[in-house]
Amino acid sequence: MCGPTKNRRSRPSTVVSLRQKGAYFLGVSDNPRREQEPPALQLLDNVPEATLRRIKQYSGRLATEAVHVMADRLPFFSGLEASQRASVQLVVQAAVVNFVEWMRDPSSQVGYTAQAFELVPQDLTRKIALAQTVDMVRVTMEFFEEVVPLLARTDEQLTALTVGILRYSRDLAFAAATAYADAAEARGSWDSRMEASVVDAVVRGDTGPELLSRAAALNWDTTAPATVVVGTPPPGREELAGEDVRAIATRHDRAALADVHGTWLIAIISGPLAPTERFFGDLLDAFASEPVVIGPTAPMLTAAHLSAAEALAGMNAVAGWSGAPRPVPARELLPERALLGDVSAVAALHNEITQPLLDAGPALSETLDAYLDSGGAIEACARKLFVHPNTVRYRLKRIADFTGRDPTEPRDAYVLRVATTVGRLGYPGPSRTTPNDASGRFSPPLVGTGRRDSPESKSQDDLEDVASEAVL
């Protein structure tokens, strides 16, 4: 190869014996002749300057052949791109040159070895794992142990070069680990800032292309459904709350983006969430023992701002429900949100409760008002309406069918009461019109108080009452 080739076949056995000596010099081998051996640093002085210059002169060829050896011994190396293999060769050549400088000043153990990894591109540390880097360092140094001592002219130089390579390879391995640790720290910091920007964009409703590109950089499937969860981070873990959320999601094969905004921990979870599933039970451990609100599941990340808006509105209003479960869906906080002036909650109450009651006829609205005003007493409600108690029961069942809220349940009764109150107060809703509307017509009241539109409708209601009494 390079330098003298005399007695080349006998060198490997010599190198093995010198490795044993090197182990002694490194302090990892017991030797009864310890006091008779010279110190390691003093031994390195036996390499003349001319030999070091020859090693530096052949650094390019050494690096090239080291890369060929890695391709033969490491299966993953052949799968690297040409640019990546070139970067590895550049690092190896720099390591050889720095080895020469280190041999001239062995006390600088870290300085020259670390400089070799300053040439590593950031994308290379992301594509090559630390374990693979350790394998490359090991193969390279084994190759150097076989080749570099061939440049020695005496046994003292041979021993010095072998010991130097062993010590230098140790420092080189530590330098590689440090380079990867720094890259991981920088990448973690970059990912955290990127993640915070994605969560902030979802909260602000920014659905531009930057949202998708940043989320994709974080390995988020931008077409997957997304659910926003809002709570409070545990005391003392504000800085680590996002990591806790991601760790729990990873254990359950789910993706998560999380960040602390002010005093709230906002998490975006891939897929729908059910308060009863095991994953969500574990996810609650990442939040403080205070209310946690779940927004509705959005079809994809670009629509997650709707889930975030409802979850945040629910978090603002959850204090109004002293018996709120943990977690609580944002849709279960519609009354409290409406009382805070949340227009979307008012619209939801209109669409889910008041409009279905209007479509069913005035009898149900009249019965609901009377039943709530009677404190939930069916007999008193029947007397107030001058109908049979079975008619009241029948109408209450019909109200539950139309609205999904059972007036006989305390919480549902409260939701129905707030819906009727909000309707009468004229809170803005999507279906309301004014005399200045293009249609020139008023919308009917959201919930009437026994209002009859015509004698025909009154007669129809009477027939309904008679039928219900006959059945019940």
What pLDDT score does 188 carry?
54
With a pLDDT cut of 90, the percent of the chain lying above it is: 28
* Cis bond before residue 327 (omega within 30° of 0): yes
> Pairing between strand 226-231 and 293-294?
antiparallel
What pLDDT score does 451 carry?
34
- The answer to whether residue 453 scores a pLDDT higher than 70 is no
With a pLDDT cut of 70, the percent of the chain lying above it is: 72
Fold of 8-185: Globin-like (1.10.490)
Tokens 């709570």, residue?
231
pLDDT band at 410 (very low <50, low <70, confident <90, very high): very high
pLDDT band at 122 (very low <50, low <70, confident <90, very high): low
Q: Which of residues 31 and 240 earns the better pLDDT score? A: 240
CA distance 372 to 358: 17
Q: Which of residues 55 and 341 earns the better pLDDT score? A: 341
- The answer to whether residue 391 scores a pLDDT higher than 80 is yes
In 130-275, where do the E strands start and end? 226-231, 256-261, 264-270
CA distance 360 to 121: 69
What pLDDT score does 98 carry?
79
- The answer to whether residue 186 scores a pLDDT higher than 50 is yes
Q: Where are the domains of the chain?
A: 8-185, 209-315, 343-471
Q: Phi-psi bin for 114: left (phi > 0), alpha (psi -120 to 50), beta? A: alpha
Give the count of alpha carbons within 13 A of 9, CB side only. 0
Which of 71-99 are b and which e, b meaning 16 or more Cβ less than 10 Å from the residue's Cβ? Answer: eeebeebeebeeebbebbbbbbbbbbbbb
pLDDT band at 28 (very low <50, low <70, confident <90, very high): very low
What angle, rounded to 10 degrees, do the helices at 155-204 and 11-25 form? 70
Contacts of 395 (CB under 8 A, 6+ apart): 363, 364, 367, 468
pLDDT, average across residues 192-203 = 86
Strand, helix or coil for residue 294: strand
CA distance 42 to 38: 7
> Pairing between strand 293-294 and 328-329?
parallel
Q: What is the dihedral of CA 433, 435, 440, 444, to 10 degrees?
A: 50
What pLDDT score does 88 carry?
82
pLDDT, average across residues 3-31 = 44
Q: Which of residues 289 and 186 earns the better pLDDT score? A: 289
pLDDT, average across residues 157-166 = 80
Q: How many residues does the chain have?
A: 472
Phi and psi torsions of 81, nearest 5°: -70, 160
CA distance 420 to 445: 10
pLDDT band at 140 (very low <50, low <70, confident <90, very high): confident
pLDDT, average across residues 433-442 = 35
What pLDDT score does 2 carry?
45
- Report the CATH architecture of 209-315: 2-Layer Sandwich (3.30)
Give the C-alpha distances (Å, rounded to integers) separating 258 from 122, 156, 265, 298.
25, 61, 7, 16
Quick one: tokens of 392? 């009241």
Instruction: Report CA torsion sign: 407, 412, 416, 418.
Output: positive
- Report the CATH architecture of 343-471: Orthogonal Bundle (1.10)
Confirm if 273 and 229 have CB atoms less than 8 A apart.
Answer: yes
Could you tell me how many helices (H) and strands (E) the chain has, helices first?
21, 5
pLDDT, average across residues 15-22 = 46
How do residues 325-355 score in pLDDT, each as one tens digit?
999 999 999 999 999 989 999 999 999 999 8
pLDDT, average across residues 68-79 = 86
Residue 101 identity: E
- The answer to whether residue 308 scores a pLDDT higher than 90 is yes
Contacts of 221 (CB under 8 A, 6+ apart): 255, 270
Quick one: tokens of 212? 């998708």
pLDDT, the chain, mean: 76
What pLDDT score does 294 carry?
94
Q: Which helix (H) or strand (E) holds 66?
A: helix 59-73
Residue 355 identity: Q
What pLDDT score does 441 carry?
32
| CA neighbor of 248 nearest in space, from 264, 234, 263 | 234
CA distance 33 to 255: 60
CA distance 172 to 408: 75
Work out the end-to-end distance of the chain between its first and last CA atoms, rounded to an integer number of angstroms: 104
Among 13-22, 97-106, 438-447, name the most confident range. Answer: 97-106
